């Protein structure tokens, strides 16, 4: 068994840090989180991938989701990208005032 807090390199692009904590992005209906550390988010993602492996085929929208996220029409539960977008929007509003 591996020890330490290292995060698998394939998880790095799927962990998102917001002011609420760390989220793990999934291909399923809901993202995971928030967690207080990246390691916890990574461990949750490992469990999640293990559970969903083979159940859900990769779909072409996934790549788009990573680059351009439509928060107005997002149907996901607990969506980390929506959280990030709302936080960013709020920060911009604070700057604009
Ligand atoms: Zn979303």
24-62 b/e with 16+ CB inside 10 Å = b? bbbbeeebbbbbeebebbbbbbeebbeeeeeeeeeeeee
Nearest to 46 by CA among 84, 1, 89: 1
User: What is the reported pLDDT for 12?
Assistant: 86
Q: Residue 64: what pLDDT?
A: 47
Say how many Å lie between the CA of residue 42 and the centre of ligand 1.
20
For residue 10, how far is its CA from the centre of ligand 1 (angstroms)?
A: 21
Specify the pLDDT at position 59: 59
pLDDT value at residue 57? 62
* Ligand 1 (single-atom ion) residues, CB below 5 Å: 74, 76, 79, 81-82
Report CA(43)–ligand 1 centroid distance (Å).
22
Rounded to the nearest angstrom, the distance between the alpha carbon of 89 and the centre of ligand 1 is 14
- Residue 46: the pLDDT is 95
Distance CA 84, CA 87 (A): 5
Mind listing the pLDDT tens digit for each residue in 39-74? 999 999 999 999 888 776 665 555 544 556 888 899
Token pair recorded at residue 33:
């989180």
Mean pLDDT on 25-52: 94
């Amino acid at each position: 068994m591996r020890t330490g807090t290292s995060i698998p390199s394939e998880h790095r692009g799927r962990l998102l840090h917001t002011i609420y904590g760390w989220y793990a992005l999934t291909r399923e209906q809901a993202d995971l989180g928030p967690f207080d550390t990246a390691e916890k988010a990574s461990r949750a993602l490992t469990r999640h991938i293990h559970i969903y492996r083979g159940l859900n085929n990769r779909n072409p929208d996934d790549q788009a989701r990573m680059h351009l996220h439509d928060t107005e029409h997002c149907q996901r539960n607990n969506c980390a990208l929506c959280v990030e977008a709302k936080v960013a929007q709020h920060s911009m509003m604070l700057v604009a005032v």
